[in-house]
Chain A
Amino acid sequence: MRIAVASGKGGTGKTTVAVALSMAVSEKVLYADCDVEEPNGSIFLRPEISRTEKVLVEVPEIDEEKCISCGKCAKFCQFNALVSLGTPPLVFPELCHSCGGCAIVCPTDSISWKKVSIGEITVGSADSGRVSVIQGKLNVGSSLAPPVIRQVKSHIADDILTVIDCPPGTACPVIESLDGADYVLLVTEPTPFGLHDLILAVDTVRVLGMPFSVVINRFDEGDDGVENYCKNEKIHIMAKIPHRRSMAEVYSRGGILFDAIPEMLDLFKSIPQMIERGIEVE
């Protein structure tokens, strides 16, 4: 089973929840850090790294001998990665989405492909080998998160419980991270900001047709907008994590949820079973 941990808003506690879930269960688990612009689950899981691999994408390379400067490739490119000024095109590889269209429209077959690295995958394990940790990291200056996320996901095996730590927001990197997951936990906080972005996230997972529930972090602060919204929308609240000073202290030292709030452990332990039993709407 693959459980994705997502949110609309950043900073609500996705990594806190994803790490807690990975550490709570006693079975083998794979923690996949798909928040490739700022992967930080490893700070808390402290995996032993066994290997790294590069994430390569293909970008066009122009054969200026064969090119007739017709500009068809540049006109085709929706990402402005190719520019033709009546000359062989200039290539901006960092803008290329590797769609391959320019090579298809080129009448003289002048475009070949060159591999460039846009990120790195780290493979490791934590908690004496019980937790496999796969982390994707996008290179600074690269803007294409989805290929890095796809490569993280290529390491997921079907027979192991997998926790996917998603990036914030509702755009392409989130969709790519959610794709293939069986269930989504949406982490939010009880504030107007949390509610606003939770609604966006709920709209997203509903369009994707994925079963989901909500985790409210820093529960006893803020207002009751999120709870009322969930009640009206008949959305199950899977967990309410209390707001404690001790949690902030533990977090600041790279500790995990149960170091500060041990009474949450039983609930997190039972989340995979609850999901399997189909608790979606109360």
Chain B
Amino acid sequence: MKIAVPSPGKDLESDVDSRFGRASGFIVYDTDEKTFIVADNSQNLNAAQGAGIQAAQNVSSTGAGVVIAPSFGPNAFKVLKAAGVKAVTCSAGTVKATIEDYLNGKLSESDAANVEGHW
């Protein structure tokens, strides 16, 4: 299973980005291989609109089945749902700790967007 987490950093010790749509990238961790890649999301930093939609597409194209972030807007949530990617909410922390929390069952799946658009 692949788990995506928005982060401005390049490794598992980096912090989780509080933004989903306008995160500079996603760290995608493969729980089977115990490896990770950094998926670029930087084209959304200056997007006039639809950053959450594009980011959700980017996450989906990494093959991730789960994405963990502090917040998801309504459009991002709609795309993730259509793509069959589970949206899980977390609080601040490192990417590593966040993924461990999820694997230990401490985080739960979101059934709706938890912030407004343009949050």
Contact = CB atoms under 8 A, between A and B. Distances in A.
**Range class of the B interface residue count:** 10 to 19
Contact of B50 (A81, A85, A87): A81
Nearest to B49: A95
Contacts of A79: 48-50
Contacts of B79: 83, 85, 90
B49 A143 contact: yes
Nearest to B60: A85
A92 B53 contact: yes
Interface residues of A, number: 11
Chain B contact residues: over half helix, strand or loop, or mixed? helix
Contacts of B49: 79-80, 95, 143
Nearest to B78: A90
Contacts of B51: 80
A142 to B, nearest CB: 12
Chain A contact residues: over half helix, strand or loop, or mixed? loop
A81 B79 CA distance: 11
B82 A85 contact: yes
B82 A80 contact: no
Contacts of B83: 85
Contacts of A74: 57
A69 to B, nearest CB: 12
B60 A80 contact: no
Interface in B43-57: 47-51, 53-54, 56-57
Interface of B: 47-51, 53-54, 56-57, 60, 75, 78-79, 82-83
Interface of A: 74, 79-81, 83, 85, 87, 90, 92, 95, 143
16 contacts: A79-B49, A80-B53, A83-B53, A83-B56, A83-B57, A83-B79, A83-B82, A85-B57, A85-B60, A85-B79, A87-B82, A90-B78, A90-B82, A92-B53, A95-B49, A143-B49
Name the 10 nearest CB pairs between A and B, nearest first: A80-B50, A85-B83, A80-B53, A80-B54, A95-B50, A83-B79, A95-B49, A90-B82, A85-B60, A83-B53
